Each structure stands twice: as structure tokens, then as C-alpha cells.
Amino acid sequence: MKLWRVIALKVRAAICVSAISALAGCTPAQQLLFSLIPDGTFPILLSHLEKTSETNRRRVAELDARGDWTGLVQFAEENLAHDRSNTDWWMVKGYAYMQLGRHEQAAECYAEIVRLRPDDMLGWNLLAESQRAARQPQRAAQTLNNALLIRQDSPATWYLLGESYTDLGRYQPAALAYRQAVRLNREFAQAWYGLGRSYARQGRQADFEQIVHTLASLNPPLAQQLAKERPAREVPRTP
């Protein structure tokens, strides 16, 4: 197995928290990585360094293992000085900034990925999550809506749009976004959770119970967590 794949699996193991803890309050960086799960895979940092040398991949792994995020930023900048069109290094730099809690700088890096590869939904998703982490949910929602003008087949993008609307307290459009996510991927448990939560916030008890039932077959612990948000009563829908 190639070194970068071993590293990717190691990083996955380190950051992969349970769905409950992720939804209950993990770090922004964990949220960023956790939310990009449209099909059960982790399209994370090191698995995207296909164009870099083995030496560079090893150096990235060393800096990551030490938690030397400033060093990782500097290493990315050194490589970008040679080729500013290399999206791998913009991703590395953005990742390091997220670890440092410098979310606006991370957003600038991910915006470069979007500019260079506008049809790559991962770049849009990373940009939106960094904006959410910077407490800019309105900008995140706009970013994701812009992404969906290009492609509408990414469950993760719809899911993140639902999360952004939830951040804004806009539960009806959030539910619509989550529904698109689960329509594209029926096993996307986190999106089902978001959909059920949005129904709970609207007081739609019957719809909420259906989601709990569906989620119970996909992820019983997550269904139990969702059940704790059961609405007290049905709220009449607005015509």
C-alpha cells in the first residue's frame, strides 16, 4: 500500500468520531472533514495529494503528526511559490489554517481551489465549511447555492446547505436541502438526522417520527440521539 494511503487511513482513524459526538459539538476542523461524506468515504487531505512527490507527502505527514500547523502553512507556501495553480497545496494550506483556528485565511485558500477547479464540489464544500467555522453561515449558504448552479449531484453539498440554513434558523429551506441529500444518497445518515432535526424545530411531529424510524435502520445510535429532540406537539403548517 502506498505511503499516502496509509497516512490517509491513519488520519481518518484519528478524526473519525461517532456521528453523535460529531453532531453534538466536535471541533470546526472535525466538522469540516466529517461533513464531506457523501458516500461513506473520506475525501480528506492526504488522499488528494496524488500529484506530489513521496518526499513531500512524507513531510506533510510528519508536520501533521507533530501538530506543527504553522510549519505546514510554510511548507505549503514554499510549494505554492513554484506553482500557484496546484490545488493540492492550497488544500494543505487551508487545512493547516483550519487547525490553527484561522478560518478566514482557510476560506481564502479554498476559494483558490474553487477558482482553479470550479466543477470540483470538494473545493466548494471546504470553502463553505470554513465560512461556517468563521461564523459566516449566510456566506456559506450563498457559496453552496453557487456551487449547486454548477452541479446538483453532490449529496455533501446539499447536506452542508442544510447545515448552513440550520445555523441561520431557517428550518424550512434546511429541510428541503437535507431531502435532496437523502434523495441522492438514501444511506446518508447524517442528512437524515438533519432532516429530522429540522422537522423537530418546525414542530412537525408526524414527519419527525418517520425520519426517526428510517434512521433507526441506518444508524440506531444516531436515531436515539434524534429521538431526544422529539417535538412536544404538532405545529400547524403555514399555508
> pLDDT category, 233, cuts 50, 70, 90?
low
pLDDT of 117 reads 94
Half-sphere exposure of 98 (CA within 13 A, CB side): 28
> pLDDT category, 234, cuts 50, 70, 90?
low
Q: What percent of the chain is predicted at pLDDT more than 90?
A: 63
pLDDT of 32 reads 41
Write down the mean pLDDT value for the chain: 81
What does the alpha-carbon distance between residue 204 and residue 118 come to, in Å, rounded to a whole number? Answer: 37
What does the alpha-carbon distance between residue 49 and residue 54 come to, in Å, rounded to a whole number? Answer: 9
Residue-range domains of the chain with CATH:
1-16+44-135 (1.25.40.10), 136-230 (1.25.40.10)
Q: Which of 18-27, 54-63, 105-114, 228-237 has the highest mean pLDDT?
A: 105-114
pLDDT digits (tens, 9 = 90+) for 138-195: 999 999 999 999 999 999 999 999 999 999 999 999 999 999 999 999 999 999 999 9
What does the alpha-carbon distance between residue 197 and residue 211 come to, in Å, rounded to a whole number? Answer: 9
Helix (H, G, I), strand (E, B) or coil at 232: coil
Dihedral, CA atoms, 92, 97, 103, 109, nearest 10 degrees?
-40
The alpha carbon of 61 is separated from its chain's Cα centroid by a whole number of angstroms, namely 22
Does position 128 have pLDDT exceeding 70, yes or no? yes
What does the alpha-carbon distance between residue 87 and residue 231 come to, in Å, rounded to a whole number? Answer: 45
Which residue, chain included where needed, has cell 484561522?
A: 102
pLDDT digits (tens, 9 = 90+) for 10-55: 333 333 322 323 333 333 334 444 444 333 333 356 666 666 677 8
pTM over 0.85: no
> pLDDT category, 206, cuts 50, 70, 90?
very high
Read out DSSP for 15-63?
A: H---HHHHHHH--HHHHHHHT--SSS----GGGG-TTS-HHHHHHHHHH
In the chain, how long is the greatest CA-to-CA distance? 61
pLDDT digits (tens, 9 = 90+) for 48-65: 666 667 788 888 888 888
